[in-house]
Homo-oligomer: A and B are copies of this chain.
């Protein structure tokens, strides 16, 4: 089969707020070949991603992403790898290309899975999906009291693990300690508590180290993104000062090498990968393999739809040692409505990716049609992009 079409759709909530909620818009990707349709999602700025798909070529290492995908053969997993390599080479100098590629790669897996009538994790070589323990991913409340209430609710909803982050966290030591202890109190002593600093300390090891006593006291499993993604030296120094606490990071990685550096030189205990950013499922699987050899736990990063969730669960589907998974609980209606089916938390408090072909998610396009943004990009009078019809 040849790839006949690669379409990006920009969907957004009617009002997008200046808050740390990444589910307010979406880049949905549709790939068509041989009568089959695959769907994917980029975790990326939609308009910028669209531009990188269709921009005029700048030179031989700065092609639009579309150039390396459209018309290519897509029958097997090897074909996916070949297309990924072509995008990386032909769009080497196009920074946004890694985010754009990610959603396209995911859609290609979905498509190949459908043609072979097998779930993606089987195509990756896993014989089955080992259920993961979802952690509810939430923002800290504005006050410790609000965080306490939130944590209690998460626990009441059946989650044994929860992550709190962002908001005002990271500004003053005492407020942070109060927030951490409130989250622990609400979650109960047996809950798995994770804290996300959202890169708030930049590269400042001492600022982060100030929070270590409170984090260790509250038996927090991991401290996520104390620093900017690439601040390997800061990560390593802080990791050496931790006792039971581990560092987590990697969501900013837009290729496997960046994630591997955090493992090899940053001393993280958990590597968090978003298939919708890192370059897709195969690239994420590479990180999972590298993590296993380094005795580091792989965890998905997901804050949008269950299509994105299914994609990010595939790379570590078969590994029992990688037992945790991020599970967004505060997503906006757009992210929920876009799929007909959802990856539910079962009675054991665990989640499993669908066993149906591809990513196993059925799109519910009618439900999100009102969220579709009408985009048009013209260069010298030629229309390079105009929002396509949103159909299956």
Residues on A facing B (Cβ under 8 Å): 10, 12, 16-22, 24-25, 43-48, 50-52, 54-64, 88-89, 92-96, 98-99, 198-199, 228-233, 252, 254-255, 257-258, 260-261, 264-265, 373-381, 384
| Contact between chains at A51 and B58 (CB < 8 Å) | no
In the assembled complex, which residues on chain B have CB atoms less than 8 Å from the CB atom of A63? Answer: 18
| Contact between chains at A252 and B92 (CB < 8 Å) | yes
Chain B residue with the shortest CB-CB distance to A227 = B257
Given contacts A257-B231, A261-B232, A373-B379, contact A48 B94 (CB under 8 A): yes
Chain B residue with the shortest CB-CB distance to A50 = B51
List of 9 A-B pairs having minimum Cβ-Cβ separation, nearest first: A230-B257, A51-B51, A47-B55, A96-B96, A48-B51, A48-B52, A45-B94, A376-B378, A47-B51
In the assembled complex, which residues on chain B have CB atoms less than 8 Å from the CB atom of A230? Answer: 255, 257-258, 261
Chain B residue with the shortest CB-CB distance to A233 = B264
Given contacts A45-B96, A230-B257, A265-B261, contact A58 B16 (CB under 8 A): yes
| Contact between chains at A48 and B59 (CB < 8 Å) | no
- Shortest C-beta distance, A184 to chain B (Å), equals 26
* Copies of this chain present: 2
| Contact between chains at B22 and A59 (CB < 8 Å) | yes
| Contact between chains at B19 and A59 (CB < 8 Å) | yes
| Contact between chains at B95 and A95 (CB < 8 Å) | yes
Prevailing SS type, chain A contact patch:
loop
Q: Cα distance A50–B378 when bound, in Å?
A: 12
Q: Cα distance A60–B264 when bound, in Å?
A: 30
Q: Cα distance A16–B64 when bound, in Å?
A: 13
In the assembled complex, which residues on chain B have CB atoms less than 8 Å from the CB atom of A88? Answer: 228
| Contact between chains at A20 and B379 (CB < 8 Å) | no
- Shortest C-beta distance, A332 to chain B (Å), equals 10
Q: Looking at the complex, which one of B21, B62, B260 makes contact with A22 (CB distance below 8 Å)?
A: B62
Known: A88-B228, A376-B376. 12 other contacts (CB 8 A): A16-B58, A18-B59, A19-B60, A20-B61, A24-B58, A25-B56, A44-B94, A45-B58, A47-B55, A51-B52, A228-B257, A375-B379
- Shortest C-beta distance, A228 to chain B (Å), equals 7
A to B CB contacts below 8 Å, 11 in the list: A19-B59, A20-B60, A20-B61, A22-B93, A45-B58, A45-B62, A47-B51, A47-B379, A88-B228, A374-B378, A376-B377
| Contact between chains at B48 and A55 (CB < 8 Å) | yes
Chain B residue with the shortest CB-CB distance to A381 = B374
| Contact between chains at B47 and A377 (CB < 8 Å) | yes
| Contact between chains at A58 and B374 (CB < 8 Å) | no
In the assembled complex, which residues on chain B have CB atoms less than 8 Å from the CB atom of A373? Answer: 379-380
- Shortest C-beta distance, A136 to chain B (Å), equals 19
In the assembled complex, which residues on chain B have CB atoms less than 8 Å from the CB atom of A94? Answer: 44-45, 48
- Max chain B C-beta neighbours (<10 A), residue from A16, A48, A64, A255: A48
Q: Cα distance A62–B58 when bound, in Å?
A: 25
